């Protein structure tokens, strides 16, 4: 398991010009990109997921090329097999918890039925995160910690090669934060999952990171590889 990433992209908008020029590689399971907001961490994550196209560079996950400006190759988001945990969780507000978890498992034009049998992988994750009691609730009706579990279950049910997490704990209150950090670390260890977390919170970097890259103004400023 490894990531090899080099992303260059110039963002222009009315307020400012921002140059993203991030390069890092790691073969650790838990990678953290740490830095202040506006440093370009989210842009990096979006580029890896294929939601933003770099001008130059390459993105290789587990030896599989997702983007390579030199070839040129730009795999569509749909084929990248990445899991993405959005900062605001991006749960589908019109679907129940169960439907959200089954969303990526069910193909085609229709959403999973509200009162139907759940596909096996979705059911497994619904149970793993103890979401069965709230399976019929809508995202607006559940708590922040529950939302995060739903978003994790939804991402994992699609069997990604790597899990990308965008400020996963910023929306949670402090007590819940440390609990969810532990929970995430346990899930990661159990599944031997590779994940890339971006955060501005040094506590997140310390608790989660095996390999921490500090991002500053669009560039990697330093890295620290914590020995196991």
Partner 1 sequence: MDIWAPLLLSLKVALWATGLNLLLGTAVAYGLSRWRTPMAELVDSLLTLPLVLPPTVLGYYLLVVLGRHGVLGAWLERWNINPVFTWQGAVIASTLVAFPMIQKAARAAFEDVDPHLEGAARVLGLPEWSVFFRVSLPLAARGITAGALLAFARALGEFGATLMIAGNLPGRTQTLSVAIYAAVQAGDDAGANTMVIVASITCVVALLIAGRLAPQHSQRRSER
Question: Residue numbers of the site for partner 1 (CB under 8 A)?
Answer: 37-38, 40-43, 46, 49-51, 76-84, 86-88, 90, 92-94, 103-104, 107-111, 154-155, 158
Between 5 and 105, whose beta carbon lies closer to partner 1? Answer: 105
Q: How far apart are CA 57 and CA 171, in angstroms?
A: 32
Q: How far is the CB of 149 from partner 1 (least distance, A)?
A: 16
Q: How far is the CB of 38 from partner 1 (least distance, A)?
A: 6
Between 27 and 52, whose beta carbon lies closer to partner 1? Answer: 52
Q: How far is the CB of 107 from partner 1 (least distance, A)?
A: 8
Between 13 and 173, whose beta carbon lies closer to partner 1? Answer: 13
DSSP result, 73-128 = EE--GGGS-EEEE-TTTT--TTS-HHHHHHTTTS-SSSPPPTTSPPPHHHHHHHHH
Q: Taking the C-alpha atoms of 33, 3, 211 and 155 in order, what is their torsion angle to the nearest 10 degrees? A: 60
Cα 89 to Cα 5, 46, 194, 197, distances in angstroms: 24, 14, 19, 14
Q: How far is the CB of 182 from partner 1 (least distance, A)?
A: 25
Between 2 and 37, whose beta carbon lies closer to partner 1? Answer: 37
Q: How far apart are CA 89 and CA 215, in angstroms?
A: 23
**188 closest CA partner among 141, 227, 152, 135:** 152
Between 24 and 84, whose beta carbon lies closer to partner 1? Answer: 84
Q: How far is the CB of 57 from partner 1 (least distance, A)?
A: 18
Between 40 and 57, whose beta carbon lies closer to partner 1? Answer: 40
Q: How far is the CB of 225 from partner 1 (least distance, A)?
A: 26
């Amino acid at each position: 398991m490894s990531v090899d990433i080099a992303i260059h992209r110039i963002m222009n908008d009315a307020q400012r010009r921002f140059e993203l020029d991030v390069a890092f590689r790691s073969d650790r399971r838990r990678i953290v990109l740490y830095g202040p907001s506006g440093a370009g961490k989210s842009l990096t994550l979006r580029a890896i997921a294929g939601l933003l196209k770099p001008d130059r560079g390459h993105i290789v996950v587990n030896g599989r090329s997702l983007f390579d400006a030199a070839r040129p190759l730009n795999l569509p988001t749909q084929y990248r097999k990445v899991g993405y945990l959005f900062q605001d969780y991006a749960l589908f507000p019109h679907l129940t918890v169960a439907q959200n978890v089954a969303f990526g498992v069910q193909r085609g034009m229709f959403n999973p039925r509200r009162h139907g049998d759940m596909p096996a992988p979705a059911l497994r994750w619904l149970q793993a995160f103890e979401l069965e009691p709230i399976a019929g609730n809508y995202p607006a009706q559940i708590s922040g910690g529950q939302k995060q579990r739903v978003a994790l279950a939804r991402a994992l049910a699609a069997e990604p090669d790597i899990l990308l997490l965008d400020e996963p704990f910023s929306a949670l209150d402090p007590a819940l934060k440390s609990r969810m950090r532990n929970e995430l670390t346990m899930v990661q260890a159990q599944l031997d999952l590779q994940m890339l977390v971006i955060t501005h919170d040094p506590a997140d970097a310390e608790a989660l990171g095996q390999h921490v890259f500090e991002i500053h103004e669009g560039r990697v400023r330093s890295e620290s590889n914590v020995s196991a």
